[in-house]
Structure 1
Amino acid sequence: MMRLALGTLRRHRGVYAGTFLAAFLAVALLAGGGLLLFSVLTAKPPADRFAATDLVVSGAREVSLETVTTKEKKDKVKVKRKVKTERLTGAGTLPADLAGRIGALPGVATAVADAAFPVQVATPAGRVVRGTDDAPVIGHGWASAALTPYTLTGGSPPDAGRAVVDADLAARGGLVVGGELVLATRTGVRTVMISGIAAPAGRSGLAAQGALFLADSEVPAVSGLDGPTAVGVVATPGADRADLLSAVRELAGGAAVLTGAERVRADLPGALPDYIGPISIFGFVIGITAFAAVFVLTGTVTLGVRQRLRELALLRTVGATPGQLRRLLGLESVVLAAVAAVPAAPLGVLFAHVVAGRFRTLGAVPAQFTVQVNVPVLLLAGLAGVLVTFVAARIAGRRAVRVAPTQALAETATAPAGGAVVRALLALVTAGGAVSVLTFVPLDGVLGMGMSFVSCALLLCAVAALGPVLVRLLTAPVSRLAGLGGATGWLAGLVTRAESRRVAAVAVPLVLIFAINATMLLNGSLIERLTGQEQAARTAGATAQVTATGGLPLSTVDRLVALPGVTGAAATLPTRVIVAQGGKPEDYPAQGLLVAGSEPALDLDVQRVTAAGAGTTSAPEVLAGNGTFAASVTLAHQYGWRTGDRVPLWLADGHRTELRLTSVYERARGFGELVLPAALVAAHDPRGLAGTVALRYHGDVAARINADWPTLRVTPTASAAPAGDAQNQQGAWELMVVISLGFTAIAVVNTFAIATAARRREYADLRLVGATTGQLHRLAGREALITVAVGLLLGAAVTAIVVGAFSTAQDGTFRLIVDPGTYGAMLGGVALLGLLAGALPARFILRRRSLPAVAEGR
């Protein structure tokens, strides 16, 4: 069987070239996507921050909630405990005396308290200084320098009003001993003198953060912390580590005690690369690639098998059974895909590096992210490609191997009909799943984009299952329109109506390429547009926005809003807040809000308020009152909150508080799902800086700000930058579209080429009865036009369903075409690709020097 399979592959090199290319690209993309996902799942920052310690006691870095359920069955009671956790974006603190108590334990050489806090560092001229790859700068007390350890390379330790910076930070900022730095933290702005330069052993700095050390006595006032965020412990030589670990755990209470590589978890979360977002991004890349690979390989293999129907019939005449033919087709596919996987693996590695570099540029992944080449991942990608190709060959051969032996003597052979019931059931199930997703899943939530892709994929499966039927229905009117152009169009219409399966095999990839990519682009554009519109509406009442690189302390905000001429102000402090439902903590973007003045500078379109206000209002005091909070309409609906409810919330450092819901607002895009008092956020978010201050004023306020605060930027509201990271998100979506578009475009060309190559005998027959080469070119062009039109009509239908439902979920407006420019470009691009892919293979086959071969039907 193997010899026969290898012989068949050699004999039909042209037929299997398309399948080889499809498998090659599928494995390369799966390998690249797999490496990216593996790399983010296994990415861990180095533990150098606590390299000199044996163990570290950490403050809270996550919120854990336990749910206990009991079941009574006969005489037994079964207790089930389930613990759900959510990472904090800040760091909880430990008791101030914990380091002293741990230091008194037997076996402890030293215990050092580490208070880590983010700090914005700038030169007196206003130039911001950051670490390598734009890493944040983290402040510490000088005593904790021994935990890495950092040692002085020049200058002296810090005392009051002085600081030590790491060597990497000094080199990047041109900082020298005796120079000055301006530090901004949540407690205010202060100027310090550089007293020394320090570096960890054997290097100039840490990989993901810059370091700045202050005198230990100044840390509480600068950081706003009421205790250390971690305690590093160094054991005495010969101490029993197990006993020491047990003793420290008992003394630490519920605080985490970390050893080995886990020590890095005790660092400030903001100083560690965040890979939560990239996991979902690269998971989505894998999903798109896998879905497209299944579609492309199935269609390509099916076309290849259909070209060999006469050969399969001949094998039947010499005694081959359907089971033997299925094994032959399966073995051929395995060999072909395995061979394609060998060169595809290195291409996948290259693909992963290129995509990672682009995502780093967009800011969608941390700057420290690197691709890790993993052999098992590459092998799994190759195995997946082989498996998909094998399954596609088995599916394609299910009916083909039952071809009648007598068809070996006929000019053409056709596979037995059948499978209509299975196709109908598959289409019904997938279409029903798509309708369910579009109807019952909240597309306006955080999973909206992903769910729109799922619904699009399900509809594409339904189209593929009913491909011949749908194509036949659409081909009839389209081909008759094409037939109005003369005899060539009339003949093209007849051919396409008679060969609906062949047309479907070519049209379905066109549906895939248009629907998947148009849906992602249009939905992404819609989100970006709505975000910009809501931002403009929120700040429409403001005259200008004041921003600073890194943010502004609330003390600076107070001085800004007190300027003569300012009639209204709204300062927002970005943060994250954890909310629990059913024992499961969830993390949401939020804003701390500080308002001042008689004229509102921020309009969130508040819909409901408590007794603090009445009716629909945007009253600032309703949103920012002490002990209260506001929520977006979406979040309030999701959790079933009503105004007046008291809701437990966990702030960035893990502090639990209970606030009363006073209002619900509409304009949450690019802003946040919750609004809390600014002072509360500043007290519990390590950064605690205002991102933007919206001002309403008259007079020369802008000139005064520029004169008194040269590092601040005053931007008219109309020309303010888009909110949040919408631009980066859209860039990431566009890159995924490019990946999907490239793969499916090659698949379309490949499918057209295989379908055209199968018609060499048909073209030869037409030449023998007098058709000219020009007529055959026009015939191929008209057939390609009909096929492309059918594919785009189906693709447009799928896109309209998904985009329309997604658009309605966002703001209640049903849109078929979100962005006419993008839609037209996609439509024109896919149409041009399809027409070229249909016409060029025919031109190649019919070129003059190939005429003898065509006449012989070879």
Structure 2
Amino acid sequence: MFDLAWRTIRARRGGFVAAFVALFFGAAVITASGVLLESGLRSGVTAERYAAAQVVVGGKQEFDGTEGPSTSFAERVPVPGDAVERIARVPGVAAAVPDRSVEVNLLSRPRSVPVYAHGWSSARLAPFTLTAGRQPEAPDEAVLDPGSGLSIGDTVTVTVGAVPSDFRVVGLASAPSLRRQSAVFVTDETAARLSGQIAAVGVLTEPGADPAAVADRITAELGLVSYTGREIGDAEFLDIGQARGFLTVLSASLIGTVAMIVLFVVASTLGLSIQQRRRELAVLRAIAATPRQIHRMIGAEVLLVSVTGAVLGCLPGFAVAGLLRDAFAGIGVLPPDFELAFSPAPAAVALILCVLGGWAAGYFAARRLAREKPVDALVEAAVEPPRLGTVRRTCGFVLLAAGAVAGTVVPMLVPGIGGLGGAAGSVLLLMVGTALLGPYLMRLATAVAAPVLRRGRISGHLAVANSNANARRLSAAVVPLALAVAMAAVQLFTLTTSQAASAEQARAGVTADFVLSGGSAGLSPEIAETVRGMPAVRSALPVVRSQVLVEYPMFDQIEVESFAAQGIEPEHTASTMDLAVTAGSLGELRGDTVALSTTAAGTAGAEVGDTVRVYLGDGTERDLRVVAVYANGLGFGDVTTPRDLLARHTETGFDDAILVSGGDEAALRALAQRYPGLSVLDRPAFAAGQGDQQSATNLVANGLLLLYLVIAVVNTLVMATGARAREFAMLRLIGTSRRHVRRMMTLEAGVVVGAATVIGTAVAAVPLVGISLATTGQALPTVDPLLYGAIVLVTAVIGFCSIGFAARSAMRGRPVDAVGSGA
């Protein structure tokens, strides 16, 4: 049977090449998604400052109190102060070295990497070796790395939270490799003053001691997390653990969608390929081939194509994963040096999924043809059956109804993240329903376009007749194109809707005249007090930003959701910030209280007076009483707490911005002389931007799917059109000119493009309305006409070029040869 299958593939390359292309790129996409998932589970970077430590002890950075994937805390979880002595007493520990770390700015020269200040005792963890001078001994002495460009005896200005301090350089020290950071060493007492918390404890083990065994003893004794080997990089670089958590969650959700769409496209392509062989299969049935033999033959063909395409497609999938890593790094959600983890597992999963998907598609496509009577099969080989099966029709209408309910009704009934998830997921239900009812929709599209098409006389009448007679074939080409239109529209206009709402909320909500920022290093609390003492300043509101986890019930279990949070002093909001409070009052925001956006309140199922459990940035669990609900969550963050409460649970306790009402702009800008690194921003620059980054992440992740869909659409259109060489030849033999045929195909291409655009737009409109309701409370999303025009233009280019190229290729030979070949 495999010999017969191989000869069939060689004789009918066109249809099988199309299936091969779909499987090849499908395997690449699934492999890339699998590599990202595996990297989220076990990848990282090599330790730098902790390279000499055999064990590093840190706080537990992940929340794993739910059934789903663990979630990383936004801030570094500190090590208790008494842990150092307790670690030192654990058997096998030669020395326990605490590391205090705080980001600083050196005014000597710009740096391309962050600079952190540490106590000198932690230098041995790299190890840093003095190349000149001595260690710091006085509070105003420092040791720098040779790349600073300074010499012993020079004075360097170091700013912490934009507050400057002068240090005298007393030594230069270098480490084997520092790629991600630069270091400044001060006395341990000065480091403790600059940073009130211990970031980690480096452990040097006794000679002959097993680091893994020592780590286990430390964890059992203290309940902290002990890192060894390559895991030490996670303890040193907080962003690596967060990146891994991001990849795990993203890939786990992406890989299911990727697999579904890939299998959908593969099934559509193989189904069309087998459908084009109805005449051949009908003849085989007529000469006594049994249904079992038909299934075995098609199964062997599909197996050969699936295995070949999937095996070859897995290899470039690893390169695609690298491109995705670079794209995520470009938008700031992954560190640029994040290393991917490679193994055969993603390729094996891709191979299995593609082969099983191909086999299932071949089985169901051949099932109807194999079980029909030979005479009926020959009749349907010439003319498509006019009706769809009852089960197919029922499933199609049910899925369309379910998608409409999930996209529009659920966001109105289910508040918060639940409604948003229902709206976002409705697009897949709608697309599968559309695929099942594709022939009906194509006949409807043809009926609508028929009056216009018939104006083309011969070509127009032929286009209408062909479109009606071959609705199944056309729907196989239209559905992937419509899916691409829908996905592009949902992703782009979700972003524009979020951006427009965020910008509007920030514009209306920031009532201050000026916004002061200190960049990633933040602003010391003393700056807000200084600003309040300036002439004509009516109010100065310091704002601390972080991420928190909020518990909420989900069926019979408890889940957590991450929200952007801000800490403020409510007494200074009157002339600086308007959160559009809809219930309660910000005046009561003090102590263990919280204000929630409508999205966060809806997710948690909380109202004013209720208590919600919140895990602050460093993992501290607090039960907070809700005192207000507000509407401007996109512009300011979904959780608002008292400033001191949030600041105590960040790494530095510094402010991210200060909103100033009144005052003189020139005087505020002059503060940069006193506080280097401080800048005066425009009011819209204060927008939180969390939604924008999330939308950009979705664009990158789904951009891969869109590219695959474009390839699949071109593939399907070329295959469907190229298989009509015999039809074109017959038309030319009965007197139709080549020009008439080309014009007929141009009109058919117009029907395909028009139908795909309308169907894709209708499918996208449902989730977009739901997403807009869930995020902004408004039913109408923000649609950029230029972006929508670009989607339509790209759709038209793909449709017309693919069909036109394939039609020209199909008419290259002599009509008599094409008819005789039976193509």
Counterpart among 345, 350, 360 of residue 391 in structure 1: 360
Higher mean C-alpha displacement, 9-18 vs 579-588: 579-588
Question: Which residue of 1 is the match for residue 513 of structure 2?
Answer: 543
User: Are residues 1:120 and 2:104 paired?
Assistant: yes
User: Are residues 1:704 and 2:686 paired?
Assistant: no
State the shift of 1:9 in Å: 0.6
Distance 1:29 1:450, change over 3 A: farther
Kindly report which structure 2 residues correspond to 1:692-731, keeping only aligned pairs within 5 A, or say none: 692-699=657-664, 700-709=666-675, 711-717=677-683, 720=685, 722-731=687-696
Kindly report which structure 2 residues correspond to 1:254-333, keeping only aligned pairs within 5 A, or say none: 254-263=223-232, 266-267=235-236, 269=238, 274-283=243-252, 285-333=254-302
Counterpart among 705, 724, 731 of residue 759 in structure 1: 724
| Conservation of the 8 A alpha-carbon contact between 1:302 and 1:392 | yes
Question: Which residue of 1 is the match for residue 642 of structure 2?
Answer: 677
State the shift of 1:772 in Å: 0.9
Kindly report which structure 2 residues correspond to 1:412-427, keeping only aligned pairs within 5 A, or say none: 412-413=381-382, 420-427=389-396
| Conservation of the 8 A alpha-carbon contact between 2:218 and 2:224 | no
Question: Which residue of 2 is the match for residue 827 of structure 1?
Answer: 792
Tell me the secondary structure at the aligned position of residue 653 of structure 2.
Answer: coil
Give 2:762's aligned amino acid.
A
**1:341-396: CA deviation from partner (whole Å, max 9, x where unpaired):** 34323322222222222221221322222333322322322332222222211121
**1:487-514: CA deviation from partner (whole Å, max 9, x where unpaired):** 3212321221122212212221221121
Q: Which runs of 5+ in 2 are unaligned?
A: none
Distance 1:832 1:447, change over 3 A: farther
Distance 1:478 1:232, change over 3 A: same
| Conservation of the 8 A alpha-carbon contact between 1:626 and 1:677 | yes
| TM-score normalised to structure 1 length | 0.86
Give 1:715's aligned amino acid.
L
User: Are residues 1:87 and 2:72 paired?
Assistant: yes
Higher mean C-alpha displacement, 440-449 vs 362-371: 440-449
Higher mean C-alpha displacement, 424-433 vs 351-360: 424-433
1:461 and 1:424 map into 2 onto residues whose CA distance is 12
State the shift of 1:584 in Å: 4.5
State the shift of 1:455 in Å: 1.0
1:64 and 1:760 map into 2 onto residues whose CA distance is 60
Tell me the secondary structure at the aligned position of residue 370 of structure 1.
Answer: coil
Counterpart among 120, 138, 146 of residue 142 in structure 1: 120
Question: Which residue of 2 is the match for residue 526 of structure 1?
Answer: 497
Question: Which residue of 1 is the match for residue 463 of structure 2?
Answer: 492
Question: Which residue of 2 is the match for residue 605 of structure 1?
Answer: 580
Question: Which residue of 2 is the match for residue 579 of structure 1?
Answer: 550
| Conservation of the 8 A alpha-carbon contact between 1:123 and 1:129 | no
Kindly report which structure 2 residues correspond to 1:188-587, keeping only aligned pairs within 5 A, or say none: 189-200=164-175, 203-205=176-178, 208-225=180-197, 228-237=198-207, 248=218, 252=222, 254-263=223-232, 266-267=235-236, 269=238, 274-283=243-252, 285-406=254-375, 412-413=381-382, 420-438=389-407, 439-440=409-410, 445=416, 451-539=422-510, 541-550=511-520, 551-581=522-552, 584-587=559-562
**1:58-103: CA deviation from partner (whole Å, max 9, x where unpaired):** 345345659xxxxxxxxxxxxxxx8996533334444534433543
1:741 and 1:268 map into 2 onto residues whose CA distance is 34
2:619 and 2:769 map into 1 onto residues whose CA distance is 40
Kindly report which structure 2 residues correspond to 1:46-85, keeping only aligned pairs within 5 A, or say none: 46-47=46-47, 49-62=49-62
Distance 1:581 1:162, change over 3 A: same
| TM-score normalised to structure 2 length | 0.90
**1:523-547: CA deviation from partner (whole Å, max 9, x where unpaired):** 12211221111111221x2222112
State the shift of 1:836 in Å: 2.3
Tell me the secondary structure at the aligned position of residue 274 of structure 1.
Answer: helix
| Conservation of the 8 A alpha-carbon contact between 2:542 and 2:658 | yes
Give 1:99's aligned amino acid.
V
| Conservation of the 8 A alpha-carbon contact between 2:729 and 2:816 | no
State the shift of 1:184 in Å: 4.2
Give 1:297's aligned amino acid.
V
| Conservation of the 8 A alpha-carbon contact between 1:788 and 1:831 | yes
Tell me the secondary structure at the aligned position of residue 275 of structure 1.
Answer: helix
* CA RMSD, 1 decimal: 3.3
Distance 1:634 1:575, change over 3 A: same
Question: Which residue of 1 is the match for residue 746 of structure 2?
Answer: 781
1:728 and 1:752 map into 2 onto residues whose CA distance is 35
Counterpart among 716, 735, 744 of residue 709 in structure 2: 744
Tell me the secondary structure at the aligned position of residue 46 of structure 1.
Answer: coil
1:711 and 1:673 map into 2 onto residues whose CA distance is 28
Distance 1:7 1:197, change over 3 A: same
| Conservation of the 8 A alpha-carbon contact between 1:764 and 1:857 | no
State the shift of 1:574 in Å: 0.9
Tell me the secondary structure at the aligned position of residue 286 of structure 1.
Answer: helix
**1:6-32: CA deviation from partner (whole Å, max 9, x where unpaired):** 110111112322112222221222222
2:14 and 2:69 map into 1 onto residues whose CA distance is 56
Give 2:817's aligned amino acid.
A
| Conservation of the 8 A alpha-carbon contact between 2:416 and 2:602 | no
Tell me the secondary structure at the aligned position of residue 300 of structure 1.
Answer: helix
| Conservation of the 8 A alpha-carbon contact between 1:22 and 1:297 | yes
**1:160-209: CA deviation from partner (whole Å, max 9, x where unpaired):** 33465664xx52x5454444444444695433233333344xx232x544
Give 1:15's aligned amino acid.
G
Counterpart among 841, 849, 853 of residue 806 in structure 2: 841
Count of residue correspondences: 814
Higher mean C-alpha displacement, 572-581 vs 262-271: 262-271
State the shift of 1:408 in Å: 8.7
| Conservation of the 8 A alpha-carbon contact between 1:521 and 1:733 | no
Distance 1:354 1:447, change over 3 A: farther
Give 1:476's aligned amino acid.
A
2:415 and 2:306 map into 1 onto residues whose CA distance is 41
| Conservation of the 8 A alpha-carbon contact between 2:266 and 2:358 | yes
| Conservation of the 8 A alpha-carbon contact between 2:70 and 2:245 | no
Give 1:527's aligned amino acid.
S
Question: Which residue of 2 is the match for residue 76 of structure 1?
Answer: none
Tell me the secondary structure at the aligned position of residue 204 of structure 1.
Answer: coil
Give 1:798's aligned amino acid.
V
State the shift of 1:473 in Å: 2.8
Distance 1:589 1:283, change over 3 A: same
Give 2:269's aligned amino acid.
T
Kindly report which structure 2 residues correspond to 1:35-50, keeping only aligned pairs within 5 A, or say none: 35-47=35-47, 49-50=49-50
1:175 and 1:271 map into 2 onto residues whose CA distance is 31
| Conservation of the 8 A alpha-carbon contact between 1:453 and 1:520 | no
Give 2:185's aligned amino acid.
F
Distance 1:287 1:106, change over 3 A: closer
| Conservation of the 8 A alpha-carbon contact between 1:400 and 1:415 | no
Distance 1:34 1:711, change over 3 A: same
Distance 1:46 1:339, change over 3 A: same
1:679 and 1:142 map into 2 onto residues whose CA distance is 30
1:851 and 1:654 map into 2 onto residues whose CA distance is 75
Question: Which residue of 2 is the match for residue 796 of structure 1?
Answer: 761
| Conservation of the 8 A alpha-carbon contact between 2:768 and 2:781 | yes
Give 1:142's aligned amino acid.
W
Question: Which residue of 2 is the match for residue 73 of structure 1?
Answer: none
Give 2:190's aligned amino acid.
E
| Conservation of the 8 A alpha-carbon contact between 1:808 and 1:814 | yes
Question: Which residue of 1 is the match for residue 12 of structure 2?
Answer: 12
Counterpart among 572, 575, 595 of residue 630 in structure 1: 595
**1:634-683: CA deviation from partner (whole Å, max 9, x where unpaired):** 22233233334455543323344454432222111142222222233333
